[in-house]
Amino acid sequence: MKTVRTKNRIREGSPAVTAILYLLTILVCLVTVYPMYYVLILSISAPEYAAGMDVYLFPKGFSLDAYKMLVGDMEMWRAYANTILYTVATTALMLVTCVLVAYPLTYKRLMGRKYVNMFLLIPMYFSGGMIPAFLLITKLGLYGSPLSQIIPACFSIWNIILMKAFFSSIPEGLREAAKIDGGGVVQILTRVYLPVSKPILAVIAVYTIVGRWNSWFDALVYLPRTDWQPLQLFLRRILVENTRQVTEILNPEMAAEMVRKQLSGAQLKYAMIIFTSLPVLFTYPFFQKYFVKGVMLGSLKE
């Protein structure tokens, strides 16, 4: 009996489908990458073109004056150091809290285990809001302190659930074998669970690094002094604060100087965006191989 083949049927490996998928992939890449590329070419173009945003595909002129201004700005470097401090400390404490909370919850005989799980789920969906959080930070004496950017951000119920799901996927036989060999609770955690938990640790670390690096609202609320403010809040001040208008100056020479400064200031904003985004962009390639495993964690169930 002969099989009837449909000519219009799309087969696996069809050149037409492959071409369409490639076009869609290229389109998504362009939509994703072009905004950052656009800011980059504006930051290295001549100030007059950057101020008028008369640049589209290639930089017009060439100027690194904005980057030279950034390198010589000590306030920017102080904000940079503050952000690195907050990011490193928060990421380290986040990993510690996730491991210490998620690991005991994998013991099915743990007393009150169900109640602890319920207690963790409730505040994940219902929070007190900004005003109770502000009152708490004030009562703890953290207002105006750099610890206000570290302690509240080093605990995430969502990350704890991810860590717990990963720990639960580890075969129970490994724990039993470690017990037979005389391993205690701490030894099982450090020598059995943590060595095989590098994917979830890396995923949580990346999420925390990106979130903490881009955070600015908490600093705006809890840090009134600029000495401890992070880089993103410094960038916000540059992008949001208004500059003086040239029409307010009557002297032509002063007006020309003001125009030059305004043109440089416009380019400085674009250079600042690139400068503050580089560390996060360089972080992704080191953890990329763990992302697929991290995404699959949502499908794990006990």
pLDDT of residue 6: 53
- What are the extents of the domains in the chain? 29-63, 67-299
CA nearest 146: which of 228, 234, 89?
Answer: 228
The string of pLDDT tens digits covering residues 87-145 is 999 999 999 999 998 888 888 777 777 788 788 877 777 777 788 888 888 888 888 88
CATH fold of 67-299? MetI-like fold (1.10.3720)
Choose among 243, 217, 244, 219: nearest CA to 229. Answer: 219
pLDDT of residue 29 exceeding 60, the answer is: yes
Q: Are 46 and 30 in contact (CB under 8 A)?
A: no
Q: Give the ranges where 129-249 is alpha helix by DSSP (H).
A: 130-139, 157-169, 172-180, 185-188, 198-213, 217-222, 231-240
pLDDT for position 11: 54
| Summary count for the chain: helices (H), strands (E) | 14, 0
Quick check: helix, strand or coil at residue 300? coil
Q: Does 247 score more than 70 pLDDT?
A: no
**Distance between start and end Cα atoms, the chain:** 49
Between 145 and 266, the more confident residue is 145
pLDDT in tens, 148-158: 888 888 888 88
Residue 146 in tokens: 């750099």
Model confidence band, residue 242 (pLDDT cutoffs 50, 70, 90): very low
Least confident among 51-65, 158-172, 195-209, 247-261: 247-261
Average pLDDT of the chain, as a whole number: 76
Q: Look-up: residue for tokens 């020479």?
A: 253
Give me the pLDDT at residue 176, please.
Answer: 78
